[in-house]
Every structure is written in structure tokens, then in C-alpha cells.
Copies of this chain bind each other. A is one copy, B any other.
Amino acid sequence: MKQDYPFSKNISLAFKNDPPGQWLLTLPEGCIRLSSGYPEPLLVPAVGLKTAAVRLLEEEQDLPLQYMGSPRILQLKEFIQKRLAERGVEVAKEELLVTSGACQGIDLIARILLDDQAVVALESPTYMEALEVFQNYTEHFMAIPVDEQGLDTEQFAEMLENGKRDGLKMPRILYTIPTSQNPTGTTLTAKRRKRLLELAEEFDFLILEDDAYGELGFTQRPRLLKAMDDNNRVLHIGSMSKVVAPGMRIGWVAGPEKLIKVLSWFKKDLNHPFAQSTMASFLESIDFDDHLKLLTDAYQAKSTAMIEALEQFMPPAVTWYVPEGGYFVWVKISGVDTAEMLSQALDAGVSYVPGKHFFLDQERCEYLRLSFSYADAEAIVRGIQKLAEVVAANVPEKTGQES
């Protein structure tokens, strides 16, 4: 019996425990899920996708079930190109790689650009799956604070300047979710976007723009970093997970042809003809702008319901950012360890994600992430009410009780 396997020296396994958020999979029956960053069940177009799959297989028979051959694989790519063009990003098909979700795109980019000497700059807090991906490659990070205007570019500039002055290694890439960030829900201002691109040029790093929520702005969609990029420094990552259905696993990377070509060499799950063609068949059957309008109206209403409930029920020690899009509200509860409080919330019938999972150090944390995407508005209000009771029992006395 072999116990010690000859693992590659390129992978670090030391930090690995059970993945964060495993408990999300085993939520008690009836628990109001304010933890899940999933689309609301009724907003997932199950009937539309069923019709799309039927039409696809009746029209194309075996083509989308082979390795290649379905014309809809190309059609999906063209759809993505057209959407990007409408948002100011013109890419040739050689500058676009369809991936199995955004997360695979992040991993592929990390795979070709990072090694154990590379420094990754990222927002702190940030998307936990991305944290896990980058930690598979390196242990060198530059964690940039986030405020209500998104990533704090002035603090970032200072960190870069100080690092350069002190001879520290400079970041090779910056990973950012500029619009409706996960988990903070914040959106980077136009001014900061411009500044970020200047910093990339000045300090010679690439920007990984994760735009998973970029089409879910309630009232507007900020200009993409990729659309403002004159220096081929931005790799743009998109996804159908939040706007159609995550279970289809359709994402993409748009970037310089040279990088896209190398990414494609390392994408070894190949195309997913059935999923990609079904998606194309669905997209050809709808008006995508109408579809987005339906989603953003629904999510805006649920976001409003959540914010109003927070205002109504939460004690004064609790603060939050008001989102302008996306799925999330980032909540601060002064003096409370949100990881410790979780079991009480689950007992009360409501779930959230403790903030620590979104930080590199995963230490004691006063933040938590709420999602208004999955539960319906009525459940959201009930959930916040339950959570407020739990919070009230946990906030230190001097900061007050329920208002």
C-alpha cells in the first residue's frame, strides 16, 4: 500500500483543509438561504432551456453530441462577441476562449501566468473560489482594501510605490471584480477605473477583470476595464452563470490573441458541445436585453427588500453597502465574530456566509455576506428579521440593542 504519493513540486498542499463553505451543501431543510450566490429558481429559464435542447437535438441530431461539428458552438462565440462589442469591446474570435464557467477561466490564466514566485494583487475581501485558485499556485499576495467605491486605488498605488522603493516583488497580475463585487457588492468608480489602468501600465502588471455580475447593474452598466484598455493589459472574464444558469457552465476569457492561444492549449476539458450548443439555441430564442431587464428588475426589487429589512430590523451596530447591481450585500456587525454566530443563525433558520472566507488570512471577522439572489422577497424579509434577532443577542452591550 502506497501512502506517500509523488506530488508535483509545483503544487502546495500545506494550506489545504476542507474547502470553505462545505457546510453550504448541507443547510437544514427550510433554512432561508441568504448564503447562496445562486440565481432565484424562478429566474432560471428551465422551460426555455428545455425547449432549446429539444430544438437543438431535433435540428442537429448527433452534431452537438460529437466532439465538434455543431454550428451552434460558433454561434455562441459570435453571441458573446456581439455582446462584448455592444459594451465597447471588439474582439476577434482568436481573442476569445469559451470556458467551463468563469472559474475555469481564472484557473487557466493562473496556470499560464503564475508560478510560486509570482505575486497576485487582489481585492480584500474577494471571491472565495478565486482565492482558492490563486493559492493553488502561489503564496505571495498583495491584498488591497475595498471601500464603497470599490478597490481603493490610492492605497494600491501607495503599496506599489512603497514596494518598488523597498525592492519588493511587484504583482504579475491584479484580479478584480470591478462591478458589483463579490462579496462587497461595490462598483469601482469611473475615476478609479482610469487610475487602475494607469497603475497597470506604470507598474507593469496584467489586469484580470472578472465581470460575472457586469450585466446585472440595476440602473446602469459601468464601462468595462477592457473597453478602456489601450495597452492590451486586461484579460476580461465573463459568464452566463448569473444571467442564464450556472449549471450550464458557460464562461469566457477575452484577451490578446497570444494569451488566448496559450490558454486554449491548457484547456483540457475541450469544448462542451452539448452545453454550449444548448446555450446558443436558448440565446437565439430570446431577446437578451429583455431577458436582462427582467432579471435586473427582479434582483433590484429583492435588493431593495433586503436593504429595507436591514434598516427596519437591524440594531445600530450593523452597517452595510447599498448595492447597485449583482447579488450581494456586505454587512458589518461591529464587535461580533460572524463565523461564531453562524450556528445560531442556522438554528434560527437563516444562512449567510461569514466574511472570513473572503479574506486571505481567514481570521476573526466582523463582516458577513448576504445574498438577495436566491430567496424570494418575502423570504428575504423574514430571513433578515430572524438574523436581526440573532445579531441583537450577539452585539456587545455598549453598542446597543434593537432600535
Contact = CB atoms under 8 A, between A and B. Distances in A.
A67 B103 CA distance: 12
B112 A65 contact: no
A205 to B, nearest CB: 9
Interface in A12-42: 13, 16, 19, 25, 38-39, 41-42
A114 B206 CA distance: 27
A259 to B, nearest CB: 6
Contacts of A1: 231-232
A167 interface: no
Interface stretch (A243-251, A299-307, A311-319, A331-339): A243-251
A199 to B, nearest CB: 14
Nearest to A249: B272
A65 B245 contact: yes
Interface string A86-120: 00000000000001110110110001111101100
A248 B274 contact: yes
Interface in A364-397: none
* Copies of this protein chain in the complex: 2
A216 B343 CA distance: 51
Contact of A133 (B54, B65, B268): B268
A259 B5 contact: yes
Contacts of A275: 249, 272, 274-275
Contacts of A58: 50
Contacts of A44: 61-62, 65-66
A191 interface: no
Contacts of A42: 62
A288 interface: no
Contacts of A6: 113, 118, 172, 206
Contact of A50 (B25, B54, B241): B54
A5 B50 contact: no
A274 B249 contact: yes
Contacts of A114: 8
Contacts of A10: 10, 115
Contacts of A2: 206, 231-233, 256
A10 B262 CA distance: 13
Interface of A: 1-3, 5-11, 13, 16, 19, 25, 38-39, 41-42, 44, 46-47, 49-50, 53-54, 57-58, 61-62, 64-68, 70, 99-101, 103-104, 106-107, 111-115, 117-118, 129, 132-133, 136-137, 172, 206, 231-233, 241, 245-249, 256, 258-259, 262, 265-266, 268-270, 272-275, 277-278
5 contacts: A2-B231, A8-B114, A41-B62, A53-B57, A67-B246
